[in-house]
Each structure stands twice: as structure tokens, then as C-alpha cells.
A and B are shown apart, each in its own frame.
Chain A
Amino acid sequence: MAIATSPPKKIKLNRIGLELPVYRGGKTTLCAGCGHNAISERIIDACFTMGVDPTQVVKLSGIGCSSKSPAYFLGSSHGFNTVHGRMPSIGTGALLANKQLVAIGVSGDGDTGAIGIGQFVHLMRRNLPMVYVIEDNGCYGLTKGQFSPTADVGSTLKTGVVNDLPPIDTCALAIQLGATFVARSFSGDKKQLTAILKAALSHRGTAMLDVLSPCVTFNDHEGSTKSYAYVKSHDDPLEELDFVPFFEDITIDYEPGTTQEVTMHDGSRLYLRKLDQSYNPTDKMQALRALHETHARGEFATGLIYVDPMADDFLTSLNLVDEPLATLPERRVRPPRAVLDEVMDDLR
């Protein structure tokens, strides 16, 4: 595979004329080396290169170290650090109020897999257009290192306590629930994560990203299957990804049969160079099988695991007017006197 043209590196402004620093946020208060910080950097990158309009973005999160991170990217966007495990409902509400918003949600594996599993399930079912990132470290960072529901059987805490409950695989769960974009990545894999984030921003529907994001303070020891070293050595990418946004006129050449091209809802294209000849991310059964098999080997299947780029999203199904409901003028939301009269007559 070869990229035919590559844009000159000098360009400092993006598609909508903004500089990179506009996409930065406040100074992080997370631990140095925390995987979550790396993910924030990738979100900044992806939003900058995609030319996402920060005034149209809402950043949403639950509670946890991970959920603090929206304060550290896109500082000129609105954000809402909500309550533990319930960010999906706040996000749903925000999008009902204004269907034009670009919603970026950040959650943790505890925030999603434990207290928030109910809202997560229904978010996946609804296919609400939103990027939903789980920063997955297998533990509760903010409450100092307890196991989370994504911890593997046999994985240990710093204190030596062994986890003996099976993990929830959020990707497998999401696919079963009808999610339309499911990916797994690693905070340490810059290229893959950025490509997936860009594709996620091009998707119309819920884009669920489970990003392995080691907690360097509470879960980075030997015996943990979510440590940096363990994840790095057990990362098993399904494909190599290249993303071409809709506004770039680039063609990618590839040998027939080696690469699958996926056209996203906005016209962007995703090139998936197959590492395993048989993998097809639009096939649910294959996706589930891949997740199962890699997990059984003690590895993580990463990359775009499942995608259905053209499925109907929740907001479209509501048949809303084109403008945001939030700012409709009074005359469009308060019916005229004649309506009240009619309603009264019906009750007489």
C-alpha cells in the first residue's frame, strides 16, 4: 500500500481554518504516564485533522479518572462531567435538544461496565450518533485501584488479590446489542487509535471504542493483564488501518484481496489491510469469533472490529425538524389559541 499524495507538513490551519492549540484543553491533573492522557492527545489530533467545529462539540463523561479527561481536550467546547455511569443519558438528552451537535463521550471501564452497564446497553441499542470511548484500565483508578468488571480472570491487584470473575467484553457486548461501530485499540498505538477516532467521527451512529489505557499507578504491575507491558506484548491487530477523510482527494492503491475499503456515512474511506486473510469487519459472527478466539489466547484483538456504516441512527428515527429543538422560537413550540380552544371543546 502506498499513499499517492501527502499534504505538505507546513500547514498549520485545518479545514475550517483553526490551529491545533484551539483543540487543546486544560492542563491534565492525571498521573504522569496515565494512558488516558495519551488518548486525550489522540482526540485532539483527530478533531483537528478532521476539522471538527469545536463550537458544535459537546464533551461528555461519567465519573472516574477517565471521565475527568474531557477537561483536557477541546477547551473551547462545552463539556459535561456528569454522574457515575450515567453519561449516556445526558448525552442522549443533549442530542435530543440539538441534533447537530457532535458528541464525544469518555467513560471508564468501571463507569461503563459496572454502575453504567444499564445505560451503556441502551445507548448501544439506540445507535445514538456519538463517539463513546471507554478508557479501559481494568481497575477503578479514582477510587484507588479496585478491580473493575473488565479485569481478566487471574489478574491480580497490587496487593496480590486475584480476580476470579470473568470479564465483560464491552466490544462483544456492544456488537450483540446492535452497535454499529465497534473498535478496540491501545492508548500506546498512536497510528491505529488516531485512524479509529477519525473513522468514529465520520460515523453516523454510536461509535464504541474500547481503548486499553493502562493505569500506571494502580494496575501496571506484573500479574496484571492491563499493564502497559502486557497489553503491548499481547496486542493482536486485526488489520492495518488507513483513513481518508471525505474532504481529501487521496487514493490508496492496494493489491486486490489484501485490503477492504469501507465508506463511512460522510463519504470518508477506511482502508483495512488484512493481516488475517479471512477477517471481514462487516460480519458480526466473524467479529464475535475473533474477539472470543483472541481472548482465549490471552490476547487483545484490536482495530475496527465491527462496522455497519449505513444503519439508521436514533435521531433520524425521531423525524425531528432540521433546526435544533433547543433554539426553536416560541411561535414554533407554543401552539396558537385555536389549538387550546379545540382541546377544550373536546373535553366539554
Chain B
Amino acid sequence: MPSSDAAVAERSVVASTTPVINDFSIQVATVNGSGSQTANLVLLRSIFQMGVPVSGKNMFPSNIAGLPTWFTIRANKHGYVARKTEIDFLVAMNPETAREDVLNLKRGAAVVYDEPLKLDALRDDLVFYPVPFDTLVGQVSRDVKLRRRVRNMIYDGVLSQLLGVQLEQMEVALRRQFGSKPKVVSINREALDVGFAFAEQHLEKRDPYGIEPMDENGGRILVDGNAAAAIGCLMAGVTVVTWYPITPSSSLCETLIGYLRKYRVDKETGKATFAVVQAEDEIAALGMAIGSGWAGARSMTATSGPGVSLMGEFAGLGYYAEVPAVIFDVQRVGPSTGLPTRTAQGDVLSTAFLSHGDSRHPLLFPCSPEECYSMAINAFDLAERFQTPVFVMSDLDLGMNTWMSPTFEYPTKPIDRGKVLDQETLDRIGRFGRYRDVDGDGIPYRSIPGTDMPAYFCRGSGHNEWGQYSERADDYEKNVDRLTRKFETARNWMPAPVVEINRKARIGIIAYGTTHWAIIESRDQLAAEADLQTSYYRLRAYPFRSALASFIERHDRVYVVEQNRDAQMSTLMRLELRAELAGRLRSVLHYAGMPIDARSITENVLIQEGYRVEHSEADGPLPHNAGVGGE
């Protein structure tokens, strides 16, 4: 037993004697580039396999190696998967942040740490478990490189023993990770065993936390939102993918490319039914997507805020020339030298009106991988139905973190290619006018180049309904009014909100995207702790449905909860709502770069509702020494 251990035992306070089962969070603090991701995912997956609801969030710097990274796993028997700010169990592997990581913990938390860091001297109200990682990894291998790689797996072994995460499940998870490499599996397994054995022999369990098998995860998968969106694109029948790398969206296209190569190469000819181009920048990426959308492809690109800003001019062209394209915006915080690897919902307003005069774009807001999948499919149909760029507004938390999800449903509807001119239609309408509103819904017919349908000359807004060049005031006005009509038609084609009306509730909550998960938990907290009943409107798209106004009408006050500073969605709503309804809106805003948590919302709402709240650490602990760099 390490010599310091006895002293620790004396000074430490045993937090609680009542066990806390399947309801706590683990944080692993490491250095990026140290291979901790594998160990973290194995831990996450093992808990998942034990049937316990779990979520994992990676907080990483904009850097390839050497800067601090925190991975948080939350196991929760009630199924809450939002970020929880309090850490119950810390694994301190990073000397640089260890001190602060420990000082930030709440009383009674447990700490597994690299023994030489001597963290036990910092506080006497925590449970400390020193582990001599270097000595232990020496038992696994002599090879320096290998040692580095499996060192982190040792804490999985320690945690397995301390928390009751079954070793067999860890091995299953390992196999999933390294499937085809038995040697890698076996050396990692050894590291697990060494960690487990050490804990068994030298560590006396003094914290209350534990994992016990449940039966909650039948039929569920573990997936990140970007992979889910990629599967959606695959199933949507995407044919052209043009992109420019940017965190946190890159993995969407990279995963998609993998699937396309596997599932969309013609068996007989060996040729691809898709084209992928890594463009020179986001301007070109959207230009290519619009060019191919115009020529009849199902085209897409994926990016994040900085890329969206570059796409502005083309987005406006797409709107006015009426060309379909799907754009995934995996939102992150601000500029490239800012917090490029942190999450936000900060592109709502700028994307809704992206580009020059009177442009407006449909936006979809997935909250889960399942919706990344289904909305991806929907986005292609909507883009073609409405002949316009459609944005899918994901975020870093959704796109890059690992989520539990039900398996995805195979599409029930055939692909909708919208109003593409064919001979039958041409016979019916007589003469083709590219921008003619034949059906009264604002949506014109389009012909595809290279087919035998009549051609037209495509340009921005300077055209009459026949597609002829015109700068006449009446032609322009007529055209933009038709575009408005088209947008109105789109309202009822957008994904409907998910509304939960509580008849006793005087107040309502509106949220969208990943904020949803914290809302579920916060509503329970509000009900349980303050007997405050709430109704909930989960917004899933812009343009809004008329149900939005009716929802607000039903309630005295409505809290719009979002992850940006400027209440962007609320602002967008105010543009459409009657003044009287707009006056009922309040905002709960969260913009720290970390995924929103329930406690912050609960406290914020209670304060605004006039309750006295003892402020918790709802917004902390935020590691403020996280490295920042250019992306």
C-alpha cells in the first residue's frame, strides 16, 4: 500500500454511508493526445451495457496534444442525460489542472489520482484514492510507447473495482473499440486487470458511489449526433457532398464518407453513386452544393459558425434563385480564436437571415441523435420541396458527444424531389415559367439541366415569373411576395413542435436543440422543489408554426431557454408575435461554452418567478484554465 494512504484515511471524511447508486457523475481530467478517449469511451460503454442510462461529454481544447481535457460521464437511473455541474467522482491524471480540479469539488466527492501528485494534502473533506500509475503500467509492458497508450486503461480497472462496473463489460467494450486487433485488446485487458487488482488489494472503498445493473438500454445505441446525421444523409439518398473541415462539423462528413464508400458503391460496376469534394473553403463548398442542387443532385455541406458566415452570399443566391441545398451548422462558440471547441446555440439569428436583403431560410433544430438522423432526411426533402437552402442547426454538444439513442427508423416516406418539371406537368401547365406560381402555394416548377425539359436562365432576383431578365419594380415585388408565400407554405411542412401542456401550469417553457435535456430535468426540479408546474414547447423548426402563438397565449409567462447571450430565438419569435404575446416572453440564457445544465435553469426561473434561491454552483466549476487556440 502506498505510504501516504494511511494518512489519507485519517484525514478524509467519509461523505455518506448511504450508497448512491446509478446517480452520479465521473470526471476524468487528462491531457489531450494522451489516448484517454479510449479509456473514457470504454468506461461509458460499460455502464451503458449494464443497462444504466448514461451520457458522456468531452470538454477539449483547440489543440492536438498537450492541453487539458475533461471527460464527464453521468450515470443516471432516472434517465437524465444533461450535463450536471457537480462532479462526484474525479479521476485526476493531469498535473497541470489537478489542484484546481480538486479544489472545485464539492464536499464528499471522491478522487482517484496519480499518486505523485499528492493531491490528498489539498483538502480533508474528500475521499482520496492514490494510484501509482507509472509503477502499475510497468507491470503491463516494458515498451515505452505501449505504456503510454495503456496507462489510462488502468484507471478504468480501478474504477471498475471501486464503482462496480463489471470487468466483463469493459472487455466487451474494449472489443468493440479494437474489434479486429486482438493484441491491442489483450494488452488493454491486462491494464484493466492490473488496475482492478491494485484497487482490490490497496484501496478501501470509502465513497458511496456505485453502478448496479439496470434494464434501461434495451434497443438503444450509443452514437454522436454527427454520425447520426451522416446516417440520415446516407438514407436520404445524398448524391453530392462538398465540405471544408471545421470542428465540430468535420466528423459529420468524415463519417458520411465512410458510409458512402461502404454502402453506395455500385456492386456490379464498382462505381460510386455519390461525389465528395473537399472544397477550398466554405464559400466554394456551398457554391458546389448549390451548383449541384441546381443541376438536380441531392447536395449538402456541413460547417460551423465561421463557415456559415462565409457562406452568406451563396445562401442569398440560393434563396433568390431558388436552389435546394442542405447545410448542417454544428454550432460552436464564436470566432476561430475563441472557444472553437465549445458548444453554443449562437447562430440562430444570423443563419435565419443569412445574406443580403430579405433573405430567409428554414432552420431545423434537432435535439438528439435520433433527430439528427430524421431531420437530415427531412432536410433534403424540404430543400427540394421548397427549392431553397435548408439549415440543420446542430451544436458541438450534440454533434461530438456520445449519446444514448433509440435505434433509427427506416424512412417511411419515399424521397420527395419536389416540383421537378416533367412532360405531364408541362402538358398540364401549358408553358413553363420558372418562377410562375402555378399551384398558388408559392412554389414554382423547376427544370433540371441536361434533361429534355425546357431550359431557363438562372439568376438572383432580377427576373420575372417566366425567368426572363427584369428589373421592373412590379416584377421584383411580385417575386418577393411569392417567396413570402412560399415561406408561409413551408411553415406547415416543418417538423411540428413537441408540446406538453400541463393544465395547472401558469408558466411555459420554450426550448430547442440540446437544451431540451436540461429542460426535462429542470421541469422535474421545479415541480419537486417548488411545486411549480410548467408546460413545455420544444421548438423544432423555423419558420414557426401557429401553435407557437397559441402556446404563449395559454400561459402568463413563458421562459425561452437558450444557449446564447442575445436571446436569439426569442428575438426571432418577437418579430412574428403580437406585442401582447411578445410581452410574455422571458429569457433564460446560458453562454459559458459548456452544455447547459438543469440546475442553472431551475434557479434562473425560480429567481425570475420571485422565489428566494440559495445560489448553488450551478454555473461551476468551469475549468477556466482550459487551453485555447486557433482552429
Q: Could you tell me which A residues sit within 8 Å of B by CB distance?
A: 26, 54-56, 58-59, 70-71, 76-83, 86, 88-98, 100-101, 118-119, 121-122, 318-322, 324-328, 330, 332-335, 337, 339-340, 343-344, 347-348
B198 on the A face (CB < 8 A): no
Lowest 5 CB-CB distances: which A-B pairs, in order?
A93-B291, A89-B287, A326-B296, A333-B237, A97-B295
B13-60 CB contacts (< 8 Å) to partner A: none
Is the pair B237, A319 in contact by a Cβ cutoff of 8 Å?
A: no
B455 with A93: CB separation less than 8 A: no
Contact A97 B277 (CB under 8 A): no
Judge whether B271 and A322 touch: CB under 8 Å. yes
Taken together as a complex, chains A and B put the C-alpha atoms of A5 and B242 apart, in Å, by 49
B475 within 8 A of A: no
Nearest Cβ on chain B to A347's Cβ, whole angstroms: 4
Set of chain B residues within 8 Å of A328, measured between Cβ atoms: 239, 273
Contact A334 B236 (CB under 8 A): yes
B452 adjacent to chain A (CB < 8 Å): yes
* Contact with B221, one of A96, A325, A344 (Cβ below 8 angstroms): A344
Residues A320 and B271 in contact, CB atoms below 8 Å apart = yes
Which residues in B have their C-beta under 8 angstroms from that of A326? 239, 292, 295-297, 448, 450
**Bound form: Cα–Cα A6–B247 in Å:** 62
B residues 299-324 with Cβ under 8 Å of A?
299, 313-314, 317, 321
Nearest opposing residue in chain A for B270, CB measure: A319
Question: How far is it, in angstroms, between the C-alpha of A56 and the C-alpha of B295 when the chains are bound?
Answer: 11
* Contact present for A324 and B231 (CB under 8 Å): no
Q: Does B490 have its Cβ within 8 Å of any Cβ on chain A?
A: no
Minimum CB distance partner of B414 in chain A: A330
Q: Does B1 contact A (CB under 8 A)?
A: no
Distance of A334 Cα from B235 Cα, bound (Å):
5
Minimum C-beta distance from B394 to chain A (A): 18
Also in contact, A89 and B450, with CB within 8 A (given A97-B291, A333-B264): no
Interface residue ranges of B190-246 to A (CB < 8 Å): 220-223, 227, 231, 234-240, 242
Binding site for A on B (CB under 8 A): 220-223, 227, 231, 234-240, 242, 259, 263-264, 266, 269-277, 279-281, 283-299, 313-314, 317, 321, 407-408, 410-411, 414-415, 447-452, 455-460, 469
- How many residue pairs, one in A and one in B, have C-beta atoms under 8 Å apart? 214
Distance, CA A300 to CA B486, complexed state (A):
52
With a 10 A CB-CB cut-off, give which of A70, A81, A96, A340 has the most chain B CB atoms: A96
Contact of A97 with B235 in the complex, beta carbons under 8 Å = no
Among candidates A71, A90, A320, A335, residue contacting B457 with C-beta atoms closer than 8 Å: A71
Determine the chain B residues whose CB is within 8 A of the CB of A320 once the complex forms: 271-273, 275
User: Which residues of chain A are near B279, meaning CB under 8 Å?
Assistant: 89, 122
- How many whole Å from A78's CB to the nearest CB in chain B? 4
Q: Nearest Cβ distance between residue B458 and chain A, in whole angstroms?
A: 4
Interface centre among B272, B286, B290, by most chain A C-beta atoms within 10 angstroms, is: B290
Q: Are B469 and A325 in contact (CB under 8 A)?
A: no
Complex: A95 Cα to B299 Cα, angstroms: 12
Tell me how far the C-beta of A330 lies from the nearest C-beta in chain B, rounded to whole angstroms.
Answer: 5
Given the complex of chains A and B, what is the CA–CA distance between A347 and B299 in angstroms?
A: 26
* Chain B residue with the shortest CB-CB distance to A67: B459
List 30 A-B residue pairs with CB atoms under 8 Å apart, sorted by A's residue number.
A55-B452, A58-B295, A58-B450, A78-B450, A78-B458, A79-B455, A79-B456, A80-B294, A80-B459, A89-B284, A89-B286, A90-B290, A90-B294, A93-B289, A93-B291, A97-B240, A118-B281, A320-B273, A321-B269, A324-B450, A325-B239, A326-B296, A326-B450, A327-B448, A333-B238, A333-B273, A334-B237, A343-B234, A347-B221, A347-B223
Within 8 Å by CB of A344, from B242, B283, B408, B458, lies B408
A119→B313 CA distance, assembly (Å): 15
Chain A residues whose CB sits within 8 angstroms of the CB of B263 once the complex forms: 335, 339
Q: Given contacts A326-B239, A327-B296, A343-B234, could you give 9 more A-B pairs where the C-beta distance is less than 8 Å?
A: A56-B450, A89-B284, A89-B288, A90-B291, A92-B287, A319-B271, A325-B275, A332-B266, A348-B407
Which residues in B have their C-beta under 8 angstroms from that of A88? 284, 287
In the docked arrangement, what's the CA distance between A320 and B459, Å?
29
Contact, CB under 8 Å: A91 / B240: no
Are A347 and B222 in contact (CB-based, < 8 A)?
yes
Chain A: minimal CB distance from B528 (Å) = 34
Determine the residue in chain A with the shortest Cβ distance to B236: A334
